[in-house]
């Protein structure tokens, strides 16, 4: 028995099951072949083929395509040619019509019919629709046209028994038509979920798709729960009157070959001249780069490069490396700042090609962590670019290699708990504001199966405003929807580049941003043999570039590449925890770590990047590392081979490369075996895989003379840490950028923090915290000014003048018009002249007034706002000068509270003062200490208050909930921690969306040099 018409959840809101789930159920039912026919997409075909190969079912590639008249046809690929034609049809359908409304022309279907088998579709098909409307002649004409256009052997009428009104009648009419026109009839079942119990989920998805409620009827909602995967017995029973239709379905399935071959390489092709080869070019460029990097090549370097090149040549990856080299060369020529990272930094060839600045050979990094002959996995090179110019680099790739050969990788935007609560709650009839309040209070670390327990665990959920019974119903449906794809998105930076046109293996469509994307995600593109290149946007690089440009304009040229990597002042600042705004080192956990670590060389920062991650924290790796680093804890090696590998991390397995080195040195693992062990451990594979690789390690270790006891100790040690290990190459790449940003923050704070503000939103902290940090470093923050501000922040006498782009609600084109007019005609003499020259919109003028941009011209903001309408009317007056404003008075202006309200609302920082200044008189009478005074009360219980900054609940070794946050007032910032017991009792205000300022009670502690507040009570001030 076969199924030729099935939808997975890649039909996006029109299917409830994963392709793998459909295949598994089909296998259990004894189905021999199955087609996946998702609506207007091939997105699910790769996991579908993977699963089918695993269980021995023949996979048939297909799609239910929407035609130009809005009806549907079921299209199956008979072979690889047919699959390519299907991809071409879908690409035309998507790219020739508005996004989200793909339509296939009938003439295109006939044109691309080779290798395709077309079925007439379900009730939404053109022929069934006409028959249901009793337009029998038109149905006959359409059937004849499709039969003649496609060929009698390529078109079949599709009959179904869906237990819906009129289905038996429709089947009869289709069979009559088939007999009359000599068209074959085939039996299908319109499958939308794997098993009957998934019907409620499909119904909810249908309601979401059609924006209707569960209590409301809708023609698209299923009338029954029969759209599950039927067994052979059920299919035989349903079509007992037309066994020939079942037989023909088998014949069609027999004709359909496996059309999507997952074993073929589809690597990019690097252009080269006659007589040359990609490998020869790669060797030549590597040699030139090695001389440039190292000066002279030692035998060790030559051996390392030859080892890598041999692997690259064997696997056929030369073209890929050259393509990446070509891309970074373009960026370098155009002055686009970039930095290679990820496991590609384990490659000395990548270093010599200028793809990364991490010296893999010098650091002793293992190439096999990146590419291995035994693993044969496709390389995946990540390169960060200045965020503002990343699209420029991507455009070069499209132009260089051809739009038919380049596409962005997609991501599947899946239902997550918060989004599912909003959407499921809406179809259940709950008010949107109530759902929004509930969704925002769900902690990010809560998993779908933990929603019920979360009601008891997290105090902010208890007063959500929904009855307990209704919450349980909502959470039950939400849990079922989590991780189901809702729609397609675009990968942040992934591009695929193919040798042959992409439509031979994938369809293409347009993303919301207009980018051409494949419907395959990063795993699927690799599975079909394509190679992904990640061109990523990193705002930190943009901030560094801004810093360089600002310093150049200020007469202080600097090249970040020439920054000394051993500057004592920079390391001193890092060791004092003064790293707010510093890449990778600015979180409270990192600042606390740096105070304890007292780094004095770059390797300390490499370790830091790897240490403050969920895995090392849960695995309790931080404390052993710090104690050993300071010499407070002794450690020894149970085998001499461990010493050279673990010395640099004080006996702690911190990096994934160390796992590979250990098993290679102790057990003689091949590179492929070593990486398999790393992957098994780091991805939490099955117990069977863990046991298998463990036995192999013990067996090979003992064969090399290691006792079983020692081998077991080493294996258990590896197993305890390997799942938390970080890629050393990636950490080294990030550490270099972290150090350079710390250097800029220490020596050029005005330029650096101006650069950060120009790239906002980015990093860990909001604007007011970055401004406060700049102020603590001696930099004044000057307010926006219509005569002195530029689009972005700039330097003004060693201080930062805020840019107009930071003000909310200001259209870019209006800001550009202000700057352009000022450059051409000089400064504005008055608000009236500004309006006469700029013709501002109401929003622009109002927001400029409220943020103080006219204060130098007219210091009374309330009075100026009073004349807003009169000023706007000046926009149409064609005269050089007019005065409508009276002289500004000192009385009647906004109070400090009103000014701050508008400033925080529109520019996220107090320009007239600090928000906590409003509370200070009352706080002083109640003996709330300012942050600056907390240091004097070490070990004592205090009350303090401040603006709440970044409350979060990271994983902990104990598994208990611990809340970390910061409080900022007008005198400074302090980190705070609240443990589970206290948090459950009084911490609900920490995660209220409207919580801005808090009063807290706790004990001042200094933990190895880092001051923090251990909080036991929280009180909202706003």
> Which residues lie across from 185 on neighbouring strands?
157
Please determine, for residue 828, whether its predicted confidence score (pLDDT) is greater than 90.
yes
Q: Coil, helix or strand for 340?
A: strand
Rg (CA), the chain: 33
845-854 pLDDT, tens digit each: 999 999 999 9
User: Are residues 149 and 223 part of one domain?
Assistant: yes
User: Are residues 162 and 27 part of one domain?
Assistant: yes
Window from 68-72, 103-107, 264-268, 496-500 with minimum mean pLDDT:
264-268
| Residue 303 falls inside a structural domain | yes
Q: Are 25 and 230 in contact (CB under 8 A)?
A: no
Name the phi and psi angles at 269, rounded to 5: -120, 120
User: Are residues 983 and 880 part of one domain?
Assistant: no
User: Are residues 522 and 404 part of one domain?
Assistant: yes
User: Are residues 135 and 157 part of one domain?
Assistant: yes
**In the chain, what percentage of residues exceed pLDDT 90?**
66
Q: Supply the pLDDT for residue 28.
A: 96
**pLDDT-derived band at 614, boundaries 50, 70, 90:** low
646 token code pair: 């673990």
How many CB atoms neighbour CB 426 within 10 A?
Answer: 17
User: Are residues 457 and 514 part of one domain?
Assistant: no
Buried b (16+ CB within 10 A) or exposed e, 472-492: eebbebbbbbbebbbebbbbe
Q: How many residues does the chain have?
A: 1022
Question: Mean per-residue pLDDT for 868-876?
Answer: 80
Question: Between the CA of residue 762 and those of 368, 389, 579, 588, 741, what are the distances in Å?
Answer: 34, 16, 15, 16, 14
Q: Supply the pLDDT for residue 121.
A: 94
Question: Mean per-residue pLDDT for 629-653?
Answer: 86
| Residue 638 falls inside a structural domain | no
**pLDDT-derived band at 263, boundaries 50, 70, 90:** confident
363-393 pLDDT, tens digit each: 888 888 888 887 767 888 999 999 999 999 9
Domain boundary among 481, 505, 531: 481
- Position with higher pLDDT, 914 vs 449: 914
| Residue 150 falls inside a structural domain | yes
Window from 39-48, 224-233, 458-467, 694-703 with minimum mean pLDDT:
458-467
Q: Supply the pLDDT for residue 744.
A: 97
Q: Coil, helix or strand for 1013?
A: strand
158 token code pair: 């599709």
Domain boundary among 481, 507, 529: 481
**pLDDT-derived band at 723, boundaries 50, 70, 90:** low
Q: Supply the pLDDT for residue 985.
A: 85
Domain boundary among 525, 540, 555: 540
The domain that contains 371 carries what CATH number?
3.30.1900.20
The domain that contains 930 carries what CATH number?
2.40.50.140
- pTM here is 0.84
Average pLDDT, the chain: 90
| Residue 131 falls inside a structural domain | yes
Question: Mean per-residue pLDDT for 763-783?
Answer: 93
The DSSP code sequence of 130-145 is: HHHTT-HHHHHHHHHH
Q: Are 317 and 379 in contact (CB under 8 A)?
A: yes
**pLDDT-derived band at 680, boundaries 50, 70, 90:** confident
- Per the structure, how many domains does the chain have? 5
User: Are residues 993 and 860 part of one domain?
Assistant: no
Q: Supply the pLDDT for residue 466.
A: 67
Q: Supply the pLDDT for residue 256.
A: 96
Quote the domain boundaries for residue 1009: 915-1020
State how far the Cα of 732 lies from the Cα of 735, in Å rounded to an integer. Answer: 5
H/E element, 85: helix 80-95
Q: Supply the pLDDT for residue 687.
A: 64
Please determine, for residue 670, whether its predicted confidence score (pLDDT) is greater than 90.
no
User: Are residues 477 and 495 part of one domain?
Assistant: no
Positive/negative CA dihedral, 308, 312, 315, 317:
positive
301-317 pLDDT, tens digit each: 999 999 999 999 999 99
State how far the Cα of 663 lies from the Cα of 675, in Å rounded to an integer. Answer: 9
Window from 46-55, 66-75, 724-733, 796-805 with minimum mean pLDDT:
724-733
Please determine, for residue 422, whether its predicted confidence score (pLDDT) is greater than 70.
yes
How many CB atoms neighbour CB 665 within 10 A?
Answer: 17
Please determine, for residue 182, whether its predicted confidence score (pLDDT) is greater than 80.
yes
| Residue 679 falls inside a structural domain | no
| Residue 643 falls inside a structural domain | no
The domain that contains 199 carries what CATH number?
3.20.20.140
- Position with higher pLDDT, 678 vs 893: 893
Q: Are 520 and 532 in contact (CB under 8 A)?
A: no
679 token code pair: 């992957």
Window from 81-85, 631-635, 822-826, 887-891 with minimum mean pLDDT:
887-891
Question: Mean per-residue pLDDT for 549-564?
Answer: 92
Question: Mean per-residue pLDDT for 345-371?
Answer: 91
| Residue 764 falls inside a structural domain | no
| Residue 20 falls inside a structural domain | yes
Question: Mean per-residue pLDDT for 309-334?
Answer: 95
Question: Mean per-residue pLDDT for 31-51?
Answer: 96
Question: Mean per-residue pLDDT for 474-480?
Answer: 88
User: Are residues 234 and 105 part of one domain?
Assistant: yes
User: Are residues 920 and 900 part of one domain?
Assistant: no
User: Are residues 102 and 9 part of one domain?
Assistant: yes
Q: Are 668 and 700 in contact (CB under 8 A)?
A: yes
The domain that contains 842 carries what CATH number?
1.10.150
State how far the Cα of 153 lies from the Cα of 534, in Å rounded to an integer. Answer: 44
User: Are residues 78 and 201 part of one domain?
Assistant: yes
Q: Are 414 and 485 in contact (CB under 8 A)?
A: yes
């Amino acid at each position: 028995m076969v199924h030729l018409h099935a939808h997975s959840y890649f039909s996006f809101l029109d299917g409830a099951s994963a392709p793998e789930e459909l295949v598994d159920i089909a296998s259990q039912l004894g189905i021999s072949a199955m087609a996946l026919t998702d609506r207007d997409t091939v997105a699910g075909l790769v996991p579908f083929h993977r699963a089918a190969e695993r269980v021995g079912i023949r996979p048939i590639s297909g799609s239910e395509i929407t035609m130009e008249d809005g009806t549907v046809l079921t299209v199956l690929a008979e072979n690889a040619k047919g699959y390519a034609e299907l991809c071409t049809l879908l690409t035309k359908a998507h790219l020739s019509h508005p996004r989200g409304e793909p339509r296939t022309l009938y003439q295109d279907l006939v044109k691309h019919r080779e290798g395709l088998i077309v079925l007439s579709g379900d009730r939404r098909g053109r022929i069934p629709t006409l028959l249901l409307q009793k337009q029998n002649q038109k149905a006959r004409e359409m059937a004849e046209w499709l039969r003649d256009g496609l060929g009698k052997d390529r078109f079949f009428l599709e009959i179904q028994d869906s237990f819906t009104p009129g289905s038996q009648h429709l089947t009869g009419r289709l069979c009559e038509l088939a007999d009359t026109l000599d068209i074959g009839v085939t039996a299908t079942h319109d499958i939308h979920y794997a098993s009957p119990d998934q019907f409620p989920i499909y119904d909810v998805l249908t309601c979401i798709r059609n924006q209707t409620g569960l209590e409301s009827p809708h023609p698209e909602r299923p009338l029954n729960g029969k759209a599950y995967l039927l067994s052979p017995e059920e299919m035989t029973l349903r079509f007992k009157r037309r066994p020939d239709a079942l037989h023909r379905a088998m014949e069609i399935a027999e004709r359909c070959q496996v059309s999507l071959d997952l074993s073929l390489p589809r690597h990019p092709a690097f252009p080269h001249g006659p007589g040359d080869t990609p490998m020869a070019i790669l060797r030549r460029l590597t040699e030139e780069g090695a001389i440039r990097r190292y000066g002279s090549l030692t035998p060790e370097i030559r051996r390392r490069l030859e080892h890598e090149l041999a692997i690259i040549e064997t696997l056929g990856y030369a073209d890929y490396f050259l393509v990446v080299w070509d891309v970074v060369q373009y960026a370098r020529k155009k002055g686009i700042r970039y930095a290679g990272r990820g496991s590609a930094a384990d490659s000395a060839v990548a270093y010599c090609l200028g793809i990364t600045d991490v010296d893999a050979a010098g650091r002793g990094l293992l190439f096999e962590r990146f590419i291995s002959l035994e693993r044969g996995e496709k390389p995946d090179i990540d390169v960060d670019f200045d965020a503002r110019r990343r699209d420029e680099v991507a455009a070069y790739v499209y132009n260089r290699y051809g739009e038919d050969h380049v596409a962005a990788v997609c991501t599947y935007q899946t239902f997550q708990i918060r989004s599912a609560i909003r959407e499921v709650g809406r179809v259940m009839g709950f008010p949107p504001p109530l759902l929004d309040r509930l969704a925002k209070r769900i902690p990010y670390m809560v998993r779908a199966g933990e929603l019920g327990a979360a009601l008891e665990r997290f105090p902010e959920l208890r007063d959500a405003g929904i009855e307990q019974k209704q919450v349980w119903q909502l959470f039950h449906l939400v849990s079922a929807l989590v991780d189901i794809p809702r729609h397609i998105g675009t990968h942040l930076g992934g591009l695929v580049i193919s040798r042959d046109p992409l439509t031979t293996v994938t369809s293409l469509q347009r993303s919301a941003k207009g980018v051409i994307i494949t419907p395959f995600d990063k795993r699927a593109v690799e599975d079909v043999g394509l190679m992904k290149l990640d061109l990523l946007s990193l705002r930190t690089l943009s901030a560094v570039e801004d810093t360089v440009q600002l310093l150049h304009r200020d007469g202080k040229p600097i090249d970040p590449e020439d920054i000394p990597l051993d500057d004592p002042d920079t390391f001193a600042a890092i060791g004092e925890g003064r790293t707010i705004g510093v890449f990778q080192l600015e979180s409270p956990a990192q600042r606390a770590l740096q105070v304890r670590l007292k780094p004095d060389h770059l390797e300390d920062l490499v370790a830091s990047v790897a240490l403050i991650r969920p895995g090392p924290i849960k695995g309790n790796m931080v404390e052993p590392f710090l104690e050993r680093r300071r010499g407070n804890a002794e450690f020894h090696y149970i085998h001499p081979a461990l010493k050279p590998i673990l010395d640099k991390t004080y006996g702690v397995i911190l990096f994934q490369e160390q796992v590979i080195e250990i098993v290679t040195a102790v057990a003689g693992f091949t590179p492929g075996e070593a990486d398999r062990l790393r992957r098994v451990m780091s991805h939490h594979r099955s117990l069977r895989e863990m046991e298998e690789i463990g036995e192999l390690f013990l067996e090979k270790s003992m064969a090399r003379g290691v006792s079983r006891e020692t081998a077991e100790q080493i294996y258990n040690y590896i197993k305890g840490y390997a799942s938390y290990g970080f890629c050393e190459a990636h950490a080294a790449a990030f550490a270099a950028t972290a150090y350079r940003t710390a250097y800029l923050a220490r020596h050029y704070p005005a330029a650096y923090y101006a650069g950060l503000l120009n790239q906002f939103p980015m990093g860990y902290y909001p604007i007011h915290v970055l401004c406060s940090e700049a102020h603590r470093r001696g930099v004044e923050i000057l307010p926006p000014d219509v005569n002195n501000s530029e689009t972005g922040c700039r330097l003004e006498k060693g201080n930062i003048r805020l840019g107009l782009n930071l003000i909310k609600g200001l259209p870019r084109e209006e800001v550009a018009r202000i700057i352009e007019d000022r450059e051409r005609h000089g400064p504005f003499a008055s608000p009236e002249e500004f309006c006469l020259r700029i013709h501002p919109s109401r929003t622009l003028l109002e927001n400029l007034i409220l943020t103080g941009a006219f204060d130098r011209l007219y210091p009374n903001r309330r009075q100026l706002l009073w004349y807003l309408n009169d000023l706007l009317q000046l926009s149409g007056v064609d005269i050089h000068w007019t005065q409508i404003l009276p002289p500004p008075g000192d009385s009647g202006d906004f109070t400090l509270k009103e000014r701050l309200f508008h400033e925080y609302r529109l520019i996220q920082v107090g320009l007239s003062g600090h928000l906590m200044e409003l509370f200070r008189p009352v706080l002083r009478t109640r003996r709330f200490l300012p942050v600056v005074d907390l240091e004097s009360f070490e070990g004592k219980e205090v009350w303090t208050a401040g603006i709440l900054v970044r409350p979060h609940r990271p994983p902990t070794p104990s598994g208990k909930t611990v809340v970390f946050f910061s409080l900022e007032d007008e005198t400074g910032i302090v980190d705070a921690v609240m443990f589970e017991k206290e948090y459950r009792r009084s911490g609900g205000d920490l995660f209220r969306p409207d919580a801005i300022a808090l009063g807290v009670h706790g004990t001042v502690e200094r933990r190895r040099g880092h001051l923090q507040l251990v909080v036991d009570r929280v009180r909202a001030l706003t």
